[in-house]
Amino acid sequence: MSGNDNMRDRIQGFILERFPLARKQHFDHQTPLLDGGLLDSLGILDVVGFIEDSFEITLNDDELLPENFQTISHLVAFVARKRSEKQLPTA
Amino acid sequence: MDYLVHHMLHTSARRLADKVALVHGEERLTYREVALRVKGLANGLNNAGIGPSERVGIYLEPSIAQVISIFGVSEAGAAFVPINAVLLRDQVTHIIRDCGMKALITTRAKLTSILDSLSEMPTLEFIVLFDVELPTNLSCRVYRLEDLCADQPTASRRQERISKDLAAILYTSGSTGRPKGVMLSHANIIAGATIVSTYLEITEEERILAILPFSFDAGLNQLMSAFLCGSTLILMTFTFAREIVQMLLRERVTGLAGVPTLWSLLAQPTSTLSRQELPDLRYITNTGGAMPQPILKTLRQTLTTTRIFLMYGLTEAFRSTYLPPEELDRRPTSMGRAIPDTEILVLREDGSQCTPGEIGELVHRGPTVSLGYWGRSEDTARVLRPNPLLAPELGDCERVCYSGDLVKMDEDGFLYFIGRRDTMIKSSGFRISPTEVEDALFKTGKIRSAAVIGVPDEMLGQAIKAFVVPRDGEQIDQAQLISQCAERLPRYMLPKNIEILDELPKTSSGKVDYPALRRREVG
């Protein structure tokens, strides 16, 4: 399993665990997170906290953009980019 | 004379008919348009059978329909019950049952989320939907909001209300049990709007951004102040803090109210707020918890032309204190002093007044003291009591509000928050009772006992921490337990952390020793 696959599974697992709405629908790495109210403002904070703790990166406010949070795939690409900037190995 | 909530709207509509009252996305409505729809809805609700002081719930996302509903219910002579859009089925069902709600204004999607509980709401006679398509399989009547808004008055005369009548019920949590409905009279709401708009110096030039929910006293007050003064109110929901900064710029917002969590987000070093000039932003207000000092410092450095008002209020007395911006340098940690036409007392247990610097309970007297809790006279009697300082000859003609907040007052009458008398938790501006969270933990069926406390959190003020004792033979997985709670609890009520214990600490009388759990976290 590649680092990004692992990352995707962990983020997807976290969202399924904390966001019951995700469990009530078909949910995968392409499901829109921002449309339909799946993630709200407090929910984003939870996701950001999880990502910072799990992948040893710090997210800045200017990176908290809708385009980085569209889907789990977008999030994974974003986190991978952040980690490579910090020159951390893939998760 | 404006003595009912909707009078404020109609007075502004007569004075400023073509002025924009509400903005939501691309939608803009003038005061005339709002007033027309509100009148229609009031007729529609009466025609559908709503009578004096009957409760009508409003379970909608921030929207123009939500504001029309609030004023429409008022004009119909009934009482509006705003329900926070983030609440889930369990909480909404509780509110509808508790206040014997007769009608609910909502959306089809929100209705679907509570449909399974409809049979538990015997008083609910009809539903008003914002959507175009109506479901046909419901056991109660359903109307379309747009249709009701176009209704004509019937021949029978509407019973006139007076300012002492019930205008609204705001549900809020205490230290125990389920949320209670704080009853506000028309007089309470108008006094709140008049007082706050006076010290904030709100005029018809104001363009106020509303991000606090109307189910929250400060959010409702913001709406009422705007309509009293003929200002423009901009509605929005946001996911990212930067969307707020964009909206401040786009709509040239002059006033913004927020809770500490919002300011913490906006004050982050990388926030777009620090890179934008906001010359139009005349004032901001903080409520729903103390603003952390570093955040206050950052905001003062960033928003050099904006006046910052720190405010405090509890739903039971609507609004209580504010710190004038010119006092920020001298008393940055103060929660301010009494709002106009209000006296804040600091009392000892025996009802006598504390001396400056002595810690006592904050007691509020003034025109915003609410009518108490709906259907709970015992709880009301605990919080709203006769004024102990009144001359005996006056009898017990006045009720004052005991806040449960411990404070001290300095020589000049400025107050400082010390802590709560009870176990109530405050997180991201929301009041949370530990029992509500504990109940959700019990409902997982996996635990024998549970105790929930608030622990200091930089972003949320307090974060929720749960201590649980598993039932014999149960293996507990923290993540799974949180996940199960998420089925029943809105996000702000979810424990951030769960610790598993063999036994909870108990007091000598056998109750859970909450102070011991809090000490454990600090130590």
pLDDT tens-digit readout, B314-334: 999 999 999 999 999 999 999
- Is the CB of residue A20 less than 8 Å away from at least one CB of chain B? yes
For B330, residues 6+ apart whose C-beta sits below 8 A from its C-beta are none
Averaged pLDDT score across all residues of chain B? 94
Cβ contact, residue pair B487, A44, below 8 Å: no
For B472, residues 6+ apart whose C-beta sits below 8 A from its C-beta are B448
In this structure, what DSSP letter does residue B214 have? T
Mean pLDDT value across residues B3-16:
98
H-helix segments, B174-308: 186-199, 217-229, 241-250, 260-266, 293-302
In this structure, what DSSP letter does residue B505 have? -
φ, ψ dihedrals at B234, nearest 5°? -105, 125
From the number of C-beta atoms within 10 Å of its C-beta (0-12, 13-18, 19+), residue B15 rates as exposed
The whole-angstrom separation of Cα B445 and Cα B439 is 10
For B163, residues 6+ apart whose C-beta sits below 8 A from its C-beta are B3, B4, B185, B186, B187, B190
- Is the CB of residue A45 less than 8 Å away from at least one CB of chain B? yes
The whole-angstrom separation of Cα B345 and Cα B405 is 12
Q: Taking 70 as the threshold, does the pLDDT of residue B494 lie above it?
A: yes
φ, ψ dihedrals at A33, nearest 5°? -95, -25
Residue B454 carries which side chain, given as an amino acid letter? G
- Is the CB of residue A48 less than 8 Å away from at least one CB of chain B? no
The whole-angstrom separation of Cα A10 and Cα A14 is 6
* C-beta atoms surrounding A35 within 10 Å: 9
Q: Taking 80 as the threshold, does the pLDDT of residue B340 lie above it?
A: yes
Cβ contact, residue pair A18, B270, below 8 Å: no
Cβ contact, residue pair A17, B487, below 8 Å: no
Cβ contact, residue pair B268, A60, below 8 Å: yes
For B233, residues 6+ apart whose C-beta sits below 8 A from its C-beta are B21, B22, B23, B67, B208, B210, B222, B223, B226, B227
| CB B320 within 8 Å of CB B339 | yes
| CB B102 within 8 Å of CB B55 | yes
- Say whether B250 sits in a helix, a strand or coil: helix
pLDDT for res A24: 79
pLDDT for res B462: 93
Note the pLDDT tens digit of each residue in B274-315.
888 899 999 999 999 889 999 999 999 999 999 999 999 999
pLDDT for res B154: 75
Residue A41 is nearest to which of B238, B487, B494, comparing CB atoms? B238
- HEC per residue, B303-329: CCCCEEEEEECCHHHCCCEEECHHHCC
The whole-angstrom separation of Cα B351 and Cα B353 is 7
Residue B239 is nearest to which of A16, A39, A62, comparing CB atoms? A39
pLDDT for res A90: 57
Note the pLDDT tens digit of each residue in B29-71.
999 999 999 999 999 999 999 999 999 999 999 999 999 999 9
From the number of C-beta atoms within 10 Å of its C-beta (0-12, 13-18, 19+), residue B382 rates as middle
For A14, residues 6+ apart whose C-beta sits below 8 A from its C-beta are A47, A50, A54
Residue A44 is nearest to which of B240, B483, B492, comparing CB atoms? B240
pLDDT for res B523: 66
B76's tokens? 């119909």
Tell me the percentage of chain A whose pLDDT exceeds 90: 22
| Total number of residues shown for chain B | 523
pLDDT for res B219: 96
* Alpha carbon of A40: minimum distance to chain B alpha carbons (Å): 5
Cβ contact, residue pair A66, B240, below 8 Å: yes
pLDDT for res B6: 98
- Is the CB of residue A89 less than 8 Å away from at least one CB of chain B? no
- HEC per residue, B407-435: EEECCCCCEEEEEECCCCEEECCEEECHH
pLDDT for res B155: 64
- Is the CB of residue A21 less than 8 Å away from at least one CB of chain B? no
pLDDT for res A89: 65
* Alpha carbon of B230: minimum distance to chain A alpha carbons (Å): 30
Burial readout B456-488 (b: 16 or more C-beta within 10 A, e: otherwise): ebebbbbbbbbbbbbeeeeeeeeeebbbbbbeb
Residue B299 carries which side chain, given as an amino acid letter? L
Note the pLDDT tens digit of each residue in B182-227.
999 999 999 999 999 999 999 999 999 999 999 999 999 999 999 9
The CA-based angle B328-B330-B336, given to 5 degrees, is 55
pLDDT for res A86: 78
For A36, residues 6+ apart whose C-beta sits below 8 A from its C-beta are A21
Structural element, H or E, at residue B109: helix B108-114
- Locate the chain B residue with the closest alpha carbon to A20: B487
| Maximal CA-CA distance, chain B | 70
The whole-angstrom separation of Cα B446 and Cα B453 is 20
- Locate the chain A residue with the closest alpha carbon to B272: A62
Note the pLDDT tens digit of each residue in B105-159.
999 999 999 999 999 999 999 999 988 777 777 888 999 999 999 988 876 778 8
B95's tokens? 């509110």
- DSSP secondary structure letters along B142-170: EEEHHHHHTPPP-SSPPPPP-TTSEEEEE
From the number of C-beta atoms within 10 Å of its C-beta (0-12, 13-18, 19+), residue B395 rates as exposed
pLDDT for res B133: 79
* Alpha carbon of A43: minimum distance to chain B alpha carbons (Å): 7
Residue A42 is nearest to which of B271, B428, B487, comparing CB atoms? B428
The whole-angstrom separation of Cα B286 and Cα B296 is 10
Q: Taking 60 as the threshold, does the pLDDT of residue A1 lie above it?
A: no
Confidence bin at B474 (pLDDT 50/70/90): confident
**How many A/B residue pairs have CB atoms within 8 Å?**
55
B507's tokens? 């007091």
* C-beta atoms surrounding B354 within 10 Å: 16
* Alpha carbon of A91: minimum distance to chain B alpha carbons (Å): 21
Cβ contact, residue pair B480, A40, below 8 Å: no
Q: Taking 70 as the threshold, does the pLDDT of residue B272 lie above it?
A: yes
| Chain B residues with beta carbon closer than 8 angstroms to that of A19 | 486
